[in-house]
Amino acid sequence: MVHKIFGDPLRDWFGAILMVLLIGAGYFKWLPGYLSDGMLVCAAVIGIFPLLKNALFDVLYKRRFRFELPAGILLLAGLLMGRFLEVSLIALLLIIGSFMRLNFSWKE
């Protein structure tokens, strides 16, 4: 019943909590070597995937350009430049913002 009202919040909260755990593992270097950086990359990919998926579907099927597409491309560029912690934190903030249904547009 709850997932019919909120659109399966368990999946979304699981993704956010997993991202927090992966960011913590990467930031505090809980794993040896480059595995900590790998945890940050995994957290970033978990956060960027829904953003890019929705933006690409809107561009391809609805023929409507949304701001999520350039934001996702910039986050992928940040991953390629090696800014794993920053990109994963931004992706986490985007996920939390989508939970709160924040709308930063000027239109009413």
Note whether residue 42 is domain-resident.
yes
Number of domains the chain contains: 1
Note whether residue 80 is domain-resident.
yes
Note whether residue 19 is domain-resident.
yes
Note whether residue 59 is domain-resident.
yes
Using alpha carbons, list the distances in angstroms from residue 12 to 33, 81, 89, 92.
30, 28, 16, 11
Residue 88 domain boundaries: 2-99
Note whether residue 104 is domain-resident.
no
Whether residue 102 is predicted with pLDDT greater than 60 in this model: the reply is no
At residue 78, the pLDDT reads 96
Average pLDDT score over residue span 45-61: 88
Average pLDDT score over residue span 65-86: 92
Please report, as a single letter, which amino acid is at residue 97: G
Task: Specify the pTM.
Answer: 0.80
Coil, helix or strand for 28?
coil
At residue 73, the pLDDT reads 93
Note whether residue 81 is domain-resident.
yes
Note whether residue 44 is domain-resident.
yes
Check if the beta carbon of residue 2 is closer than 8 Å to that of residue 9.
yes
